[in-house]
Amino acid sequence: MNDIDRLIINQLQTGFPICDAPYQQLASQLGLTEEMLIERLQVLLDNGTLSRFGPLYHAELMGGALTLAAVNVPVERFDEITGIINAYPEVAHNYARNHRLNMWFVVATETPEQIEQTLAAIEQQTGLTVYNMPKIKEYFVGLKLDA
Amino acid sequence: MLALDEIDLAIMRATQAGLSLSPQPYQVIAEQLGLTADIVMARMAVMQDSGIIRRIGAVPNHYKLGYRFNGMTVWNVPDDRIDELGVKVGQLTFVSHCYHRPRHLPDWPYNLFAMVHGKTQADVDTQIQQITELLGTDNQACDVLYSTKILKKTGFRSRS
């Protein structure tokens, strides 16, 4: 990653114009050419430095639902439970974490009812208690990580 | 709930995987959907103003940028103080997400969640110290959970 990449990443965490030729507009702001900006973006996406580029939608405002859930998985069942939980298409992210509650996953569905159904199905299939931790209030989302 | 019509939903679906890297990306969406670029841009601007689109931009992979220490800090604070405290914690520059979530007593006493990110353990320790100082006596218990492995990560349609 070079200085131009850093500049692009930092800038693109703050927003992107809505206009006919947005890459050109942004490129001229950054002192780059449109071609260079697009080429670097492609590289950063291809090599995984950027996991996504585009509009980020607010699930709940669109009628969809999200929750964070956690389970306490016995060590000897960790791979088995990972397989079960990851197999649900509603499970978007799943992380192992260093806590008694050692598996944390995000469930995203079209409706709030489907959240309950998915968590109930996971409980039934795994025999484990699923701790449902939907957000009650959002104070902040967003971050500019300095590249 | 904000009213979204079929055009908004079609735009949403067309951009789920991201925005085209061609010079006129809104024109590309318009052609896919049989609309004009002006309509696509106008709809997206309205969705952005109303918060349905949180922003248009890039999501970096934390690890690739060198942020290897990503901690989910969790705090038990009084319910009647959490909104004030949550806003303050969310304003800290190193906090990426800050939420009020339910406790599950007795196993899980924490109701305030703040994700922090650092390039070193020392960075994160300093950040945690700053939150600790900010919360003061309202901090009744806390913990930090680090991710030890990504088990699944998919791009999904609505996440910021």
Query: Which tokens is B84 given?
Result: 């004030």
Q: Which value does ipTM take for this structure?
A: 0.83
The count of other CB atoms within 10 Å of the CB of residue B56 is: 21
Distance to chain A for B81, nearest Cα, Å: 13
Q: Is A103 on the interface with B (CB under 8 A)?
A: yes
Q: Give the pLDDT band (50/70/90) at residue B159.
A: very low
User: In this predicted model, what pLDDT tens digit does every residue of B53-97 receive, in sequence order?
Assistant: 999 999 888 888 999 898 999 999 999 999 999 999 999 999 999
pLDDT at residue B155, as a whole number: 54
CA-based angle A116:A117:A122, to the nearest 5? 100
Q: Give the pLDDT band (50/70/90) at residue B140.
A: very high
pTM of the model: 0.83
Q: Are B89 and A114 in contact (CB under 8 A)?
A: no
Cα B119 to Cα B62, B66, B69, B74, B79: the distances in Å are: 9, 6, 6, 20, 32
Give the B window 123-142 contacts with A, CB below 8 Å.
none
pLDDT at residue B4, as a whole number: 78
Closest partner residue to B65 among A93, A94, A147, by Cβ? A147
- Max CA pair span of chain B: 59
> Does the structure show a pLDDT above 80 at B160?
no
pLDDT per residue of chain A (147 residues) written in tens, 0 to 9: 889 999 999 999 889 999 999 999 999 999 999 999 999 999 999 999 998 899 998 877 777 899 999 999 999 999 999 999 999 999 989 999 999 999 999 999 988 899 999 999 999 999 999 999 999 999 998 867 777
pLDDT at residue B28, as a whole number: 98
Q: Are A62 and B4 in contact (CB under 8 A)?
A: yes
Q: Is A128 on the interface with B (CB under 8 A)?
A: no
Q: Is B23 on the interface with A (CB under 8 A)?
A: yes
Domains of chain A, earliest start first:
3-46 (no CATH), 60-132 (3.30.70.3460)
Q: Which of A126-140, B38-52, B75-89, B143-157 has the lowest mean pLDDT?
A: B143-157
User: In this predicted model, what pLDDT tens digit does every residue of B96-131 receive, in sequence order?
Assistant: 999 999 999 999 999 999 999 999 999 999 999 999
Averaged pLDDT, B8-33: 95
The count of other CB atoms within 10 Å of the CB of residue A120 is: 12
Dist. CA B117–CA B123, nearest whole Å: 8
Cα A104 to Cα A71, A72, A75, B54, B141: the distances in Å are: 7, 9, 15, 24, 20
Count of A-B CB contacts under 8 Å:
248
Query: Which tokens is B85 given?
Result: 């405290």
pLDDT at residue B88, as a whole number: 97
Say if the Cβ atoms of B57 and A13 lie within 8 Å: yes
pLDDT at residue B2, as a whole number: 58
> Does the structure show a pLDDT above 80 at B51?
yes
Q: Give the pLDDT band (50/70/90) at residue B158.
A: very low
Give the A window 51-90 contacts with B, CB below 8 Å.
51-59, 61-64, 66, 68, 70, 82, 85-86
